[in-house]
Structure 1
Amino acid sequence: MPASATTVPDNDVHANAHVLVDDHPDTVYAWLQERGWGDGLPVVPPTEDRVAAMLDAYPGDPDEIIGALPPRLGEATPRVLAVNAVMAGCTPPMLPLLVAAVRGICAPEFNLRGVNSTTHPVSVMVLVHGEAVRACGFNSGTGTLGPGNRANATLGRAVRLALLHIGGGTAHGAGDAGMGDAATHGQPSKYTFCFAENAEASPWPVYPRAVGLGARSAVTVAGMENPHNIHDMETRGEPAPILDKVATVMATFGTNNAVVSSAEYFIVLGPEHAATISGAGWARQDVQAYLFEKARRRAGDFRRSFQSSMWRPWMRALQDDDLQPMTESPDNIRVLVAGGPGKHSMVIPSWGLTRSVTVPVD
């Protein structure tokens, strides 16, 4: 390796937190490729000055061990995360959000070991709420899940780089040892999967309040599939036709929700659909209850399709002609508003053996 590519560890404790002496893009690209690091895209060179500037925006202990990321069980600290944030292209004010997201994926109920090593194409969805949306410049409106916004693109990418570099969740590590990302196909959201709640367009309280959190800013992480679009251009004034279409997408046997009854759905309503639903007097809980009743299939069809399942006992006791819900509780149907004009909404299915976590931003 040429001397210009020399790196030094950021400190003795976290020897995997490298900063670069040479920040030429070609040098960095080659340096990453030789080690099997990165996500395959060019990165911002994590020089000492850039990492220091990132850490200057973090109010806590830079060497706090937030958690060990499986399967490698590398220790995630704000200092190490700052390196990955720089590489992803984050701005310094975004580091507290990245730390919050990593706290969330380290929660036991998130089951990061499973998320990071399954053959399912699950990705970590990152959802930003509250004051941080405006302060950091996230796009919560038109194209919130698309390209063109630095904050949306880079926060999701920074989480993925942390999973690759600290957790060892790379396809290169899969194989006989069972380590790393073993996803059969993967999915595009494994590059970045981040969007923001459109609180200004929501007729209901912000999502964190629905899960009992009153923080000014928060981050939700969830192990999810790619979103599936719902369109309803015709409905006026009546929620049912819109939500009936949502229910048909939820009620598919191709997702893990069908076999794991504790699995969640995220229902991301576009502002126009949300306005129609709320205009009829429906609260968020009404949407959850309606979808719980409508997103169902015959219990006999479930049994014929799956020999192995994780269903509640009362679901197993249903008769073949009874309608079995796609999830065991309305509370597993997470409803929020994001996006811009246009009568579209999204259903985001879960991997199944994971729970979403909402974390306040320090």
Structure 2
Amino acid sequence: MLRAAAIAERAGVPSVSIVTTPFMQQAAVVSKGVGLPSLPIAEYPGVPMTDGPEAVARKVEALLPQIIAGLAGARDVARAAVAEPPPREIVYRGSLEEIQEHFHEHLWSDGLPVIPPTLAHVERFLAHTRRAPDDVIGRLLPENRAATIWSIAVNGVMAGCRPEYMPVLVAIVEAIAEPIFRVEDAGSTPGWEPLVIVSGPIAKRLDLNHGQGVMRVGRQANTTLGRFLRLYGWPTFGADQGFTREDSVVTVQSVVSISPPIYSAGTRALEHARILAEVFGGACGYWSSIGMKYARWEPLLVLGPSIARVIAEDGWSKDDLRRYLHEHVTITARQAETYALQVGATSYTLEAHVKAGVLPAAYALSTDPERTVPVFVQPEKIGILVAGDPGRNQSKGYVNNHIQGGRVSKRI
């Protein structure tokens, strides 16, 4: 909303953004990021989705003076300049404890201790790339900061990465800088987090976890990057994204929730597919309404190697498993529209989205609210990754946050 308001203001069209109380601090950050820290805002007190009609009417009426004042007030559409120290400037000197406190006070960390990014440390990272330190990878919202090779190296040092991870760090930033990833929405209400997948030869070179404990901390590479691996003759995860088996690839996507551990048993693909559909599909069902609304949704299924082996040896491809999930994981139209309503899609209907060409015809074959519709809008968008402990019969599912944090892959 505030980004749209900034465009309107710069075009000479007055605006006022209506923001609820819990989002006021976030609104201030976004306004600053778009270069207009004084964007007019009218504050709606409370949560409109839990207010009754009378409360909403009363609060909206109380908003009117703020809206009028915002529209009639003086405008300042000049982009606010933010003073930044040059790359090689020493910003602080002190003991390790003093440095930690200084970085924490200035919000230069995630709250955990950091490795001080000394010039010598940063130079060691720069030695692992041919790109110039001032090369700009992209501008990262909401703060609209330029991500440079230099800033990537600095953050890599602070995170505790090793210098040889630098090519992966650059590829990660290239991925999240892509418009399709929508990093500007990383602070949205569902609270999604980025998931990083590293595949290809570099995963072994950097000693990333890939079998038992693939999702756990312990190895330095996994703790500071995060990754998975492939197995069993199926296309690698990187190949699924359009790369070759020989390519080292990093993939970043959003994860808003995780399924329970999915244990399945049997010697036939169908035995495992049924359990995967029940548990993975069940974990995705509620949030699928948002995937339907935006017609872009990329859940991720991490298959244990022993499970993948049974499915592959029974003659199933990844696409066979995707088709099974698409056909057998459903919810009712009533559930889909009700779930969407709870998150604010007050005028959303499946029929309207089909008429608009957003959803395929299968979502409006009748007007019966109890008709079933697929949870997975596009089966080809279901990510399937083989990773984990080969000695266990466990898989796990990751629910993506629709168009926010869309899956992006980059060659390292």
TM-score class, shorter-chain normalisation, is 0.7 to 0.9
| Equivalent residue, structure 2, for 1:327 | 376
> Does residue 240 of structure 1 match 2:274?
no
1:275, distance to aligned residue in structure 2 (A): 0.8
Distance in 2 (alpha carbons) for counterparts of 1:106 and 1:310: 32
> Does residue 102 of structure 1 match 2:173?
yes
| Equivalent residue, structure 2, for 1:46 | 117
| Equivalent residue, structure 2, for 1:359 | 410
Q: In the alignment, residue 309 of structure 2 is paired with which amino acid?
A: A
Counterparts of 1:30-41 in structure 2, within 5 Å, are 30-41=101-112
> Does residue 75 of structure 1 match 2:146?
yes
1:153-201: CA deviation from partner (whole Å, max 9, x where unpaired): 112xxxxxxxxxxxxxxxxxxxxxxxxxxxxxxxxxxxxxx2222x2x3
Contact persistence 2:289–2:337 (CA under 8 A): no
Q: In the alignment, residue 360 of structure 1 is paired with which amino acid?
A: R
Among candidates 214, 217, 229, match of residue 147 of structure 1: 217
Q: In the alignment, residue 195 of structure 1 is paired with which amino acid?
A: R
> Percent of aligned positions with the same letter in both sequences?
27
1:252, distance to aligned residue in structure 2 (A): 4.6
Distance in 1 (alpha carbons) for counterparts of 2:165 and 2:88: 18
Among candidates 192, 201, 219, match of residue 122 of structure 1: 192
Distance in 1 (alpha carbons) for counterparts of 2:365 and 2:316: 30
* Secondary structure at the counterpart of residue 196 of structure 1: coil
1:213, distance to aligned residue in structure 2 (A): 1.4
Contact persistence 2:85–2:91 (CA under 8 A): no
1:293-352: CA deviation from partner (whole Å, max 9, x where unpaired): 111112233234333258551254133343211122111211111111211111100111
TM-score (norm 1): 0.79
Q: In structure 2, do the counterparts of structure 1 residues 13 and 22 end up closer, same or farther at CA, with 3 Å as the change threshold?
A: closer
Contact persistence 2:300–2:397 (CA under 8 A): yes
1:23-71: CA deviation from partner (whole Å, max 9, x where unpaired): 7431221111221221111111111110000111112222111011100
Distance in 1 (alpha carbons) for counterparts of 2:88 and 2:106: 14
Higher mean alpha-carbon deviation, 131-140 vs 211-220, is at: 211-220
Distance in 1 (alpha carbons) for counterparts of 2:349 and 2:164: 41
| Equivalent residue, structure 1, for 2:394 | 344
1:288, distance to aligned residue in structure 2 (A): 0.8
* Structure 2 residues not aligned, in runs of 5+: 1-82, 355-360
Q: In structure 2, do the counterparts of structure 1 residues 289 and 19 end up closer, same or farther at CA, with 3 Å as the change threshold?
A: farther
Flag the structure with more relative contact order, 1 or 2, with Cα contacts below 8 A and sequence separation at least 6. Answer: 1
Among candidates 221, 236, 247, match of residue 216 of structure 1: 247
Contact persistence 2:88–2:119 (CA under 8 A): no
Contact persistence 2:259–2:396 (CA under 8 A): yes
1:22, distance to aligned residue in structure 2 (A): 4.3
Contact persistence 1:124–1:221 (CA under 8 A): yes
- Higher-Rg member (1/2): 2
Q: In structure 2, do the counterparts of structure 1 residues 213 and 38 end up closer, same or farther at CA, with 3 Å as the change threshold?
A: same
| Equivalent residue, structure 1, for 2:68 | none
* Secondary structure at the counterpart of residue 130 of structure 2: coil
* Secondary structure at the counterpart of residue 117 of structure 1: coil
* Secondary structure at the counterpart of residue 197 of structure 2: strand
Higher mean alpha-carbon deviation, 297-306 vs 93-102, is at: 297-306
* Structure 1 residues not aligned, in runs of 5+: 1-11, 156-193
1:184-233: CA deviation from partner (whole Å, max 9, x where unpaired): xxxxxxxxxx2222x2x343121111121126201001011243233325
Distance in 2 (alpha carbons) for counterparts of 1:268 and 1:253: 14
Name whichever structure is richer in helix by fraction. 2
TM-score (norm 2): 0.70
Among candidates 301, 310, 319, match of residue 285 of structure 1: 319
Among candidates 83, 100, 108, match of residue 29 of structure 1: 100
Distance in 1 (alpha carbons) for counterparts of 2:102 and 2:392: 44
Count of residue pairs the alignment pairs up: 308
Q: In structure 2, do the counterparts of structure 1 residues 204 and 315 end up closer, same or farther at CA, with 3 Å as the change threshold?
A: same
